[in-house]
Structure 1
């Protein structure tokens, strides 16, 4: 029995209402995400409780929460300044926001996402903030693929990983990268909240930290390179980031020398997770997953020394 979920829901209900106030919410608690090795997220009314992944560093999470509190208009701030411990898991509480609607991709807020990233990248880096975890998540996805079992699509994905420069596989940002980064940027990390006049805000501080800002642009860049993001939407995103003075790419000219390696790493990460999940779920790969794997096939033919030169 999952003892965490009932206890988390009870904590959430208490956090959502003033002491002594009756609960008149329609739902007792809606589970938004639940994985034993990752976060469990529950909603009750307008409040979210997040039990962070097992082994989350308390000091690192505390610094990340403080950073979100200090950057209004960029990051959604937690409802409480510190995490609580529940069944050996760190738990934080957040206001509920309206996410991007996945059923209306034509209305995706690419300009807003780019502007938020640029402003985040230009913000001062708080003292002691840990490394952002983008590169570490790519390496973890590859380990998960290797542990998942045999699959005919795994070989080109692992070859594409091996073709990356050694520093990109080292689970840490490139040397001298000292920018405040989100660490896991995609459109699911944006919400609107009434307390901030309905503007888009970034959420999820678990991977926030110091690193190379190109990793925050890597997922849309990878989607564009794989044919999953139309050129017009990529151009809007890139132009909006540059207009805000974002430091990840030059203000004009070719952005790919800065984006190429992180985008390749995110392509491998996406493909590795797709294969691992398809094995667990005993299903074939879908069209989008196959497009990412096809990109890995092309990437695997590029020698590491050429990729290294392109990134310099």
Structure 2
């Protein structure tokens, strides 16, 4: 569901105000970068305003923004520590960065994102930090599919794969290891680079929190398991994460006892979102979407590995 038009217009006005306060000269280029029910993002010049989901907790968002502001080597630095409220939505402000080029997958900075994750995971968790929301988002994606998809044939294998997961991976129980700082929704779209900068930074703090760090490795792991990520790219990502001292997997040996359950959960979440989008577009599943649904069907017949404590 798209946002109300007045929210988009006023969000642009607020973005412009922050841009002009922050800089004496404003490029004044404007664009809507995202318009979803869980996030509306507007750019004015080199300033970005994000209206967060309507159910966002103010205190938790403030803590997440403060955390990003402290971790300048990992996250894009917010332009303001305290969000404002607009049409019932909390709004935060950020510098605009250049994303990874989706049309040049060979140039994807796998080593950079792996190193940033390792730095994030090695950062001590503060007592006020909320729980990482990754499993909750996966559960919502499955619930929305069940509510909206009717008799679509993909709902069955997706639901059966979901049912094989332990309660913590479905957002129904605490993490088996919850003392590590996690991004919560890691993918290449969460990586940007500021003009003139050589290093990459993470964006999107909505799901940041204490949790199982394997969740942040789970999407590339799922892509690799589904055959959507080449073994060379997966090896580069995993090798860089280990080289940087990341705690989500053992320093050597088989990483899958730690990654299997989170990778399965992200596969189910991805499949649920893909099917929902295909239904909304009124079309059949494409080859990639079919591949992910087929992976769910295989998962339902294979037992998941027990999640390994990354601290051991």
TM-score by length of structure 1 reads 0.94
Tell me if 1:15 matches 2:18.
Answer: yes
Change beyond 3 A, Cα 1:260–1:16: same
The match for 1:213 is 213
Tell me if 1:301 matches 2:293.
Answer: no
The match for 1:155 is 156
- Checking the alignment, whether the CA contact within 8 Å between 2:257 and 2:305 is kept in structure 1 is no
Q: Post-superposition shift, 1:24?
A: 5.2
- Checking the alignment, whether the CA contact within 8 Å between 1:173 and 1:212 is kept in structure 2 is no
Aligned pairs for 1:1-312 (under 5 A) are 2-18=5-21, 25=28, 27=29, 29-35=30-36, 37-148=37-148, 149-171=150-172, 173-194=174-195, 197-302=197-302, 306-307=303-304, 309=306
Listed as ranges, the gaps of 5+ residues in structure 1 are none
Range moving further from structure 2, 282-291 or 111-120 = 282-291
Once residues 85 and 310 of structure 1 are traced to their aligned partners in structure 2, the CA distance between those partners, rounded to angstroms, is 40
Once residues 138 and 154 of structure 2 are traced to their aligned partners in structure 1, the CA distance between those partners, rounded to angstroms, is 17
Task: Give me the CA root mean square deviation.
Answer: 1.7
Per-residue CA shift, 1:33-63, capped at 9, x if unaligned? 002x210000111010000111100000000
Q: Post-superposition shift, 1:18?
A: 3.1
Once residues 21 and 109 of structure 1 are traced to their aligned partners in structure 2, the CA distance between those partners, rounded to angstroms, is 33
Provide the aligned length of Structure 1 versus Structure 2.
305
Change beyond 3 A, Cα 1:121–1:229: same
Q: Post-superposition shift, 1:150?
A: 2.0
- Checking the alignment, whether the CA contact within 8 Å between 2:98 and 2:195 is kept in structure 1 is no
Per-residue CA shift, 1:242-290, capped at 9, x if unaligned? 0000000000000000000000000000001111111111111111111
Range moving further from structure 2, 37-46 or 215-224 = 37-46
Once residues 193 and 133 of structure 2 are traced to their aligned partners in structure 1, the CA distance between those partners, rounded to angstroms, is 25
Listed as ranges, the gaps of 5+ residues in structure 2 are none
Once residues 221 and 165 of structure 1 are traced to their aligned partners in structure 2, the CA distance between those partners, rounded to angstroms, is 18
- Checking the alignment, whether the CA contact within 8 Å between 1:137 and 1:171 is kept in structure 2 is no
Once residues 65 and 16 of structure 2 are traced to their aligned partners in structure 1, the CA distance between those partners, rounded to angstroms, is 21
Q: Post-superposition shift, 1:308?
A: 5.3
TM-score by length of structure 2 reads 0.94
- Checking the alignment, whether the CA contact within 8 Å between 1:48 and 1:95 is kept in structure 2 is yes
Report SS of the residue matched to 1:198: coil
